[in-house]
Structure 1
Amino acid sequence: MKVVKHSGNFVEFDPSKLKQSLLKSGANQEVVEDILKAIKKEMYDGMPTKQIYKMAFAMLKKASNAHAARYNLRDAIQMLGPAGFFFEKFIARLFEAEGYQAKTNITLQGKCVSHEIDVVIKREEQISMVECKFHGGRDAVSDVKVPMYILSRFNDLKDKKHHIFSGNDTISNCWIVTNNRFTSDATAFGNCSGLNMLSWDYPSHNNIGTKIDKDQLYPVTCLTTLTMAEKDKLLVLDVILAHELKNNSGILEHIGLSPNRIKNVLKEVSVLCKNK
């Protein structure tokens, strides 16, 4: 049976991929099998994958808000747009969890021109610039022109002294991060040029998705007990990660949640980020 992807392309429906994503959410085998059976009953030729996702998400939410939040992770990252400003803050949080110092949205003078840098990170004595390429659509990709352009910016900055963390900082490395994917030419050029590449699924064992799961750094946008308007208010207040809400009922009260809803949100956060 054929299904229609976000791009409009028709592909053969692969239930094993759906099963894998449901199991990855933390749902047990019985819940996953029940969801698969229910979806197969509703399947028709040419069904949009977006509709399949919505059905799976709704059924998963009935079983567990936290599992639905994990299942919703990639869409939750896209909710950090539309401009990508909050995505940059989120990426800074990922690096901070790995022991880096991080600063966002700074302007540095290069040899030729000035540059607005999304994130600058420091660990031990090594300082790196991080350029974030945010895409609002799931099928958009970062092609080879992206690392080519960013390499030229890095080359303009790397031989200069900057006032970032001290008054005598040198940028020695460069990262390119995207919430979607790189083309194969983009990763080939980036690796050949000594750039660090990080995307939703690259590198295979240390990508954005695996980093989030490893350290339970789930964005507040994945929470199913909050409305989008409430999530936006939290982002503006610099609450980027779900675990930042733990034991913080005051900020939830500040954005207008009732005591009962605060209790539900904190319960979801506790289950989602149980080790934080």
Structure 2
Amino acid sequence: MKVVKQSGHYVDFDREKLRKSMLRSGAEATLVDNVVQKISESIYDGISTRKIYKLAFSLLKKESSSHAARYNLKAALQMLGPAGFFFEKFIARLFERQGYQAEVNCLLQGTCVTHEIDVVVQKNEITAMIECKFHATPLAVTDVKVPMYILSRFNDIKPLQHKVFGHSHSITACILVTNNRFTTDALTFGTCSGLTLLSWDYPLHENIRHLIDREGLYPITCLTTLTVVEKEKVLIQGVILVSDLPNQSHVLETIGLSPQRIKNVLQEIRELTKT
């Protein structure tokens, strides 16, 4: 059975790959096996991987909104756009959860010019600049030109002291983050140049997907009980994380949700964030 990837390439249908992707959502093996069986029985030669994903998401959602939300995580990150400002705030919160102080949209004077830095973080002796390369479409990748450009900015900034977090600090590290993936050349150049790279699936065990699951730091865009328009309204209200909503549930009233809809959203949040 051949399926069509989003790139247009034909590949064999990988039943086990589909199974593993759903197991990562936290769904029990029995449920996942049932879903995989239903999908296997309904797909046809030439079906797109996107249609398979939508079918898997729909079947998971019927059983558990929280499992569907986790399964939808990569797409949820792509909804933190269109310009990526909300993605930058999300990355700041992700580093804060790991014990860093974080500030977004900082102006730092370099030796030659002034730079607007997406995020600056500090922990112990490390003060790092973070540049976020956001992609709103799944096929977009971060190529080698991006780490080359970021390295030049880092080199202009690091010789000077900068007033951040109430004190003067040198920028000692540079982190490049993308919500999709890096090309092979981008990874090679970035690591060779001493940059720290973070993407959806890189590095192997400390990538964005793993950090989100480990820290329980889910963006509100992964919720299945809100529409796309409602998610945008919640983001505009300043709520980025699922875990923030229970203490700011008035936001859901502000955007026009009924009491029953609010109850459904909060129930999904409880299921998604329980340990």
Which residue identity does 1:259 align to in structure 2? P
Deviation string, structure 1 residues 89-112 (Cα, Å, up to 9, x no partner): 000010000011111112222111
Please report how far the alpha carbon of residue 167 of structure 1 lies from its aligned counterpart in structure 2 after TM superposition.
Answer: 4.5
Percent of matched pairs sharing the same residue: 60
TM-score of the superposed pair, with normalisation by structure 2? 0.97
State the SS of the aligned residue for 1:272: helix
Offset at 1:32?
1.2
| Match in the other structure for 2:105 | 105
User: Which amino acid in the other structure matches residue 141 of structure 1?
Assistant: V
Aligned residue runs from structure 1 range 1-276, under 5 A: 1-275=1-275
| Separation of aligned partners in 2, 1:46 and 1:185 | 32
- Given residue 269 of structure 2, which amino acid in structure 1 is its aligned partner? V
Consecutive unaligned residues of structure 1, counting only runs of 5 or more, are none
Count of matched residue pairs:
275
Residue 141 of structure 1: SS of its match in structure 2?
Answer: coil
Amino acid in structure 1 at the alignment position of 2:90 = F
Q: Partner letter of residue 234 of structure 1? A: V
Counterpart CA distance in 1 for 2:200 and 2:106 is 24
**Preserved CA contact (<8 Å) 1:81 1:136:** yes
Partner AA of 1:114 in structure 2: T
Q: Is the 8 A contact 1:247 1:266 kept in 2?
A: no
CA distance in 2, matches of 1:136, 1:232: 14
What is the distance in 1 between the residues matched to 2:154 and 2:90?
Answer: 22
Unmatched 5+ stretches in structure 2: none
Q: Contact 1:61–1:67 at 8 Å: present in 2 too?
A: yes
User: For the aligned residues, what is the CA RMSD?
Assistant: 1.1
The residue type paired with residue 93 of structure 1 is R
Paired amino acid for 1:272: L
- CA 1:111–1:247: 2 relative to 1, 3 Å: closer
Counterpart amino acid of residue 15 in structure 2? P
Question: Displaced runs of 4+ in structure 1, greater than 6 A?
Answer: none
Question: Per-residue deviation at 1:192?
Answer: 1.3
Residue deviations 1:54-95 (CA, integer Å, cap 9, x gap)? 111011000000000000000000000111110000000100
Partner AA of 1:127 in structure 2: T
- Greater displacement, 37-46 / 264-273: 37-46
Q: Which amino acid in structure 1 is aligned with residue 207 of structure 2?
A: N
Normalised TM-score (structure 1): 0.97
